[in-house]
């Protein structure tokens, strides 16, 4: 028996917000003071570090559950399955549905139940729940789906990562330029007649002493703002140092569990958080083996899509699978790694054979 990704789908919102669209923002330090450089300098430095040139935002009439539904439709069609045969729908996100121009998070009912409703699934044995695990949520959802299938509790699961981070940021915080919206979906399915395919191993960690509040909700940097709204905030340097140490180690342990050689790894799909950080993580991963980094091993989508949290990896995988990332493709038998880091702080990885 193999447990495989049999279908993928992604939804990339239509609204494009370029870096220059932030030129008129009033960026402030955490203490509310102004920067002593102009916005064009801030934006230029931002692009050099993150690699982001533009990002995608959802239309005002779409919520996170809508984006999840759109991606799910594509994954179901790609897998050629009847949605009534799904045993689980797992939706990974951080903030639920947030209506445009509102900061209220709505998770009642669960986004997974909303997706099931939108798909028109009648089967009561299709179980729905949401997963809050930070940016590594989609990977963790796949790990849980695999567990259900191994335990004989399921044959087919729909795992989605979806987010509308454009509705959660503080406009006076320069980190706001990182965030974007999107959704990626996958069908995880039991296959009896496949050899050397599917999920080979996984690894998950939670570091909850020193790093729990590296990502958090906090007040606006604009001290003149009178509202009690709270926005997504991060200790960027701490996250960077944490990620480039913990993620390579988790991927190494994960790969060792699979008993596959690092020399056979064809692609590494990392959470699209920061291009400089992702480069450092891959470099350190190969350094753990005293090997040079292979060329063209890490596909990236952050340049045009920004950081859509739990949606980045399933979206990237869908794009590469469908030959939509220049210079990157997959073929049957390829060994790949998925790796992510995010709020919690959580880290996880999967070794997968295409």
Q: What is the pTM of this model?
A: 0.95
Mean pLDDT along residues 322-333:
95
Do residue 10 and residue 146 come from a single domain? yes
Do residue 176 and residue 251 come from a single domain? no
Q: Which residue has the tokens 């069609």?
A: 77
Total tally of structural domains belonging to the chain:
2
Is a pLDDT exceeding 70 seen at residue 194? no
Do residue 114 and residue 237 come from a single domain? no
Do residue 24 and residue 46 come from a single domain? yes
Do residue 205 and residue 121 come from a single domain? no
pLDDT digits (tens, 9 = 90+) for 47-61: 999 999 999 999 999
Strand pairing class (156-164; 127-131):
unpaired
Is a pLDDT exceeding 90 seen at residue 227? no
Is a pLDDT exceeding 70 seen at residue 287? yes
Is a pLDDT exceeding 70 seen at residue 335? yes
Do residue 157 and residue 215 come from a single domain? no
Residue 88 CB partners (closer than 8 Å, separation 6+): 126, 127, 128, 129, 145, 148, 154, 157, 158
CATH number at residue 227: 3.40.47.10
Percent of the chain topping pLDDT 70: 99
pLDDT of residue 192: 85
The CA distances from residue 112 to 96, 107, 108, 161, 216, in Å, are 10, 10, 10, 11, 24
Domain containing 269 equals: 198-353
Percent of the chain topping pLDDT 90: 91
Tokens encoding 296: 């063209």
DSSP 293: P
Do residue 33 and residue 170 come from a single domain? yes
pLDDT of residue 37: 93
Do residue 49 and residue 169 come from a single domain? yes
Domain end marker among 156, 171, 191: 191
pLDDT digits (tens, 9 = 90+) for 20-39: 999 999 999 999 999 999 99
Do residue 157 and residue 266 come from a single domain? no
Is a pLDDT exceeding 80 seen at residue 15? yes
Do residue 96 and residue 207 come from a single domain? no
Is a pLDDT exceeding 90 seen at residue 7? yes
Do residue 180 and residue 254 come from a single domain? no
Q: What is the mean pLDDT of the chain?
A: 95
Is a pLDDT exceeding 70 seen at residue 108? yes
Mean pLDDT along residues 163-177:
93
Domain end marker among 142, 174, 191: 191
Mean pLDDT along residues 150-168:
96
Please, how many CA atoms are within 13 Å of residue 209, restricted to the half-sphere of its CB? 0
- Is residue 229 very low, low, confident or very high in pLDDT (cuts 50, 70, 90)? confident
Is a pLDDT exceeding 80 seen at residue 226? no
- Is residue 297 very low, low, confident or very high in pLDDT (cuts 50, 70, 90)? very high
Domain end marker among 173, 191, 209: 191
Closest alpha carbon to 91 in 157, 153, 147, 155:
157
Within its chain, how far is the Cα of 196 from the centroid? 26
Q: Quickly count: other Cβ atoms within 10 Å of residue 106's Cβ.
A: 16
Do residue 186 and residue 206 come from a single domain? no
């Amino acid at each position: 028996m193999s447990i495989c990704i049999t279908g993928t789908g992604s939804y990339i919102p239509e609204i494009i917000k370029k870096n220059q669209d932030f030129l008129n923002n009033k960026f402030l330090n955490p203490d509310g003071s102004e920067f002593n450089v102009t916005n064009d300098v801030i934006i230029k430095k931002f692009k050099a570090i993150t690699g982001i040139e533009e990002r995608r935002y959802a239309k005002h009439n779409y919520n996170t559950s809508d984006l999840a539904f759109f991606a799910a439709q594509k994954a179901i069609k790609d897998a050629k399955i009847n949605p009534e045969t799904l045993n689980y729908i797992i939706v990974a996100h951080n903030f639920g549905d947030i209506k445009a121009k509102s900061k209220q998070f709505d998770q009642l009912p669960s986004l997974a139940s909303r997706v099931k409703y939108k798909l028109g699934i009648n089967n009561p044995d299709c179980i729905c729940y949401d997963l809050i695990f930070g940016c590594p949520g989609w990977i963790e959802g796949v790990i849980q789906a695999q567990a259900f299938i191994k335990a004989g509790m399921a044959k087919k699961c729909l795992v989605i990562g979806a987010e509308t981070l454009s509705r959660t940021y503080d406009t006076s915080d320069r980190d706001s330029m990182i965030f974007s919206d999107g959704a990626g979906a996958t069908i995880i399915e039991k296959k009896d007649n496949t050899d050397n395919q599917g999920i080979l191993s996984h690894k998950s960690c939670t570091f909850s002493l020193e790093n729990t509040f590296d990502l958090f909700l906090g007040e606006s940097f604009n001290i003149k703002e009178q509202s009690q709204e709270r926005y997504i905030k991060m200790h960027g340097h701490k996250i960077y140092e944490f990620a480039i140490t913990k993620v390579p180690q988790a991927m190494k342990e994960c790969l060792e569990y699979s008993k596959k050689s690092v020399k056979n790894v064809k692609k590494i799909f990392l959470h699209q958080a920061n291009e400089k950080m992702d480069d450092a993580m891959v470099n350190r991963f190969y350094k753990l083996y005293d090997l040079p980094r292979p060329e063209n091993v890490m596909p990236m989508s952050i340049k045009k899509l920004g950081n859509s949290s739990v949606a980045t990896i399933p979206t990237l995988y869908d794009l590469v699978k469908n030959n939509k990332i220049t210079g990157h493709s997959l073929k049957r038998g390829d060994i790949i790694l998925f790796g992510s880091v995010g709020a919690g702080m959580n880290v996880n990885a999967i070794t997968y054979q295409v």
